Structure 1
Amino acid sequence: MRIQLLYFDECPSWQVADARLREALAAVGNTTDVERVLVTTADAAESWGFHGSPSVLVDGEDPFAEPGAPVGCRAGCIAPLPGSAAPRQSGSWSRCSPRG
């Protein structure tokens, strides 16, 4: 099994998601390493089939992907994960999207 965590550098929630993912794997005795993938450009996002930050891929598939959803912040910009930074107040997706 291959597990990857894709994220934007400025995503306020990726580190919390990373910790929770590792905790969940450990809780079920799964020792699979989680590869962190920093997505830095719109081209990279497209090549990964990136749906937003943070994203988890299991064997190359995003089990939480919503077809047709815009690429953007999946957690921190709208509703932060508990323990993460406060949501961004601007309402702008551009701060939470990979740079083009």
Structure 2
Amino acid sequence: MEITLQYFDGCPNWTKADELLQVLARENPSLEVRTQRIATPAEADASSFYGSPSFLIDGRPLFELPDSTPGLACRVYRTPSGLAGSPTLEQLRAAIDAAGRFDR
């Protein structure tokens, strides 16, 4: 399984998101983590990039954003502690598990 972390250089939260994915990759050897830097608005449109950090699992969004438009922007996630720049480790784990992607 491949998970892609999409980001743009101005995002202060993508490195935290990458750290969380590395924890999950160590727990599950079938998880391959890629990063995809989005540099221009045209790339954002072409990649269906809805803000940084975003997660794609096998090319599909892991966290949907209804009524959003692609663009270079920071993204926020609802967490148990309030809005944050990335989901929690538990939220990532649950989303991947809900997608039926973790090996058991």
User: Is the TM-score greater than 0.5?
Assistant: yes
Q: Which runs of 5+ in 2 are unaligned?
A: 77-82, 87-104
Pairwise CA RMSD of aligned residues? 2.1
Q: Distance in 2 between matches of 1:66 and 1:80?
A: 14
Q: Which runs of 5+ in 1 are unaligned?
A: 82-100
* Distance 1:79-1:49 versus aligned 2 partners, 3 A rule: same
Q: Distance in 1 between matches of 2:41 and 2:62?
A: 21
Residue of structure 2 in register with 1:54 after alignment = 53
Residue of structure 2 in register with 1:4 after alignment = 4
* Distance 1:16-1:31 versus aligned 2 partners, 3 A rule: same
Residue of structure 2 in register with 1:18 after alignment = 18
Q: Provide, for residues 1-23 of structure 1, a one-character-per-residue CA deviation record: whole Å limited to 9, x for no partner.
A: 22111001010000000000111
Residue of structure 2 in register with 1:35 after alignment = 34
- Amino acid in the other structure paired with 2:6: L
Structure 1 residue 65, shift from structure 2 partner: 1.9
Residue of structure 2 in register with 1:66 after alignment = 65
Structure 1 residue 80, shift from structure 2 partner: 4.1
Choose between structure 1 and 2 for higher RCO, CA contacts under 8 A separated by at least 6 residues: 1
The number of residues matched between the two structures is 79
Identical positions, percent: 36
Q: Distance in 1 between matches of 2:11 and 2:21?
A: 16
- Amino acid in the other structure paired with 2:51: G
Between Structure 1 and Structure 2, which shows a larger proportion of strand residues?
A: 2
Between Structure 1 and Structure 2, which shows a larger proportion of helix residues?
A: 2
Contact 1:51 1:65 in 2 (8 A): no
